[in-house]
Amino acid sequence: MRDDNESVQIAQVIERLIARFPAESPAEIELLVRRIHERFADARIRDFVPLLVEKAARQVVGVYPIEVTGEDPRSAPTMATI
C-alpha cells in the first residue's frame, strides 16, 4: 500500500530528474517516473521504492531519449535491461 510519504518522495524524484535533465520535457520525465513507479505497485516493502524508481528512470533518461507516446515503457526494447 502506498502512503503519502511515498507520493511526496516520487514527486521529489520527478523534480530532481527534471533539474538533472533540462533538455528533456518535464511531462515526459513525469510520465516515465509514474510508469516505472507502477511496476512496484505490488511490492510489499515500500521503503526503497522511490530510490529504485529514481535509479531506473535516471538510467533510461541518461541513455535513451524519451517521448510521450502513450505506450507502456515496459514493452519498449530499451526497458528490457532495467
Q: pLDDT value at position 2?
A: 59
Tell which phi-psi region holds residue 56, choosing left (phi > 0), alpha (psi between -120 and 50) or beta: alpha
| Span 52-62, average pLDDT | 93
In this structure, which long-range contacts are made by residues 17-21, counting pairs with CB atoms below 8 Å and at least 24 apart in sequence? 17/54, 17/57, 17/58, 17/61, 20/58, 21/61, 21/62
Average pLDDT, the chain: 83
Asked if residue 19 has pLDDT above 90, the reply is: yes
- The residue type at 24: E
Distance between CA 81 and CA 55 in Å, rounded? 13
Residue showing cell 512496484: 40
